[in-house]
Amino acid sequence: MIDMREKRLLTIVPLALSILLLVASAPATAQPGTVLAIADFADAGTDGGAMIQAERLSGYLQHRLQALAGDHLQVLAGDQVRKVMRAQGVTALDLLRRSRATGVAAALGASRIVTGSWRTLSLASAPDAPPMPRGAEREATAVFDVWMIDAASGATVLHATYVGRATGQGRLVLLEAAREALDQAARAIAGM
């Protein structure tokens, strides 16, 4: 016969074990995971790069990654990265070489660095359209090559090309296409 004390113990022990299992399986969010530096992107003479300040769209990628990854990723970008680049005499184009990229990452205390290059930023009329009157819709295309490099080993963790397209009026359509390409890159990086 089970007395009242044993009956309580049989109820409390499974309950306590269940709580412990739930706590142990919950993701830890107190500490950030990977520290990721995002450098400005090389824009070697694309048509529309100057129109939308394409080199500085690293800030957009930073915000997208932080939103997607939350506390699991600490993202460094913008002035903090530019300051280290200036101190090392490095340009965005220089960061396409692994040794330069890992040097910047190490100086920032980052475990990985993301760098990229705009291969195409173009704003054109639709292929089947007659000559464009002022205010006509245009088709924008943004082709972005991205690399994520491990700072310790110099290994390429990700190398991919993303294409964004948008249709509309004015220069903002080019920015829209570039953001679409960066959104694709952000999803790929956050999923790693």
Is residue 124 one of the residues assigned to a domain? no
Alpha-carbon distance of 155 to 116, in angstroms, equals 15
Is residue 22 one of the residues assigned to a domain? no
- The helix-helix angle for 58-69 and 172-190 (nearest 10°) equals 40
Is residue 23 one of the residues assigned to a domain? no
Q: How confident is the model at residue 112 (pLDDT cuts 50, 70, 90)?
A: very high
CA dihedral (182, 151, 103, 158) positive or negative: negative
Which secondary-structure segment (H or E) carries 138? strand 138-150
Is residue 175 one of the residues assigned to a domain? no
Q: Give me the count of residues in the chain.
A: 192
Cα three-residue angle 160-163-167, rounded to 5 degrees: 170
Q: What does the pLDDT look like over 71-95, one tens digit per residue? A: 888 999 888 999 999 999 999 999 9
Q: What does the pLDDT look like over 119-149, one tens digit per residue? A: 888 887 555 555 555 666 788 899 999 999 9
Residue 83 belongs to a domain with what CATH number? 3.40.50
The total of structural domains in the chain comes to 1
**How many CB atoms within 10 Å of residue 140?**
25
* Dihedral (Cα; 68, 70, 76, 77), 10-degree rounding: 30
Is residue 39 one of the residues assigned to a domain? yes
Alpha-carbon distance of 173 to 55, in angstroms, equals 17
Check residue 53 and give its pLDDT: 78
Q: Which range marks the domain in which residue 83 is found?
A: 30-117+145-161+182-190
Is residue 186 one of the residues assigned to a domain? yes
Q: What values do phi and psi take at 152, rounded to 5?
A: -75, -45
Reported pTM: 0.75
Mean model confidence pLDDT for the chain: 79
Q: How confident is the model at residue 162 (pLDDT cuts 50, 70, 90)?
A: very high
Q: How far is CA 122 from CA 9, 53, 56, 92, 130, in A?
A: 71, 13, 17, 20, 18
Is residue 129 one of the residues assigned to a domain? no
Is residue 167 one of the residues assigned to a domain? no
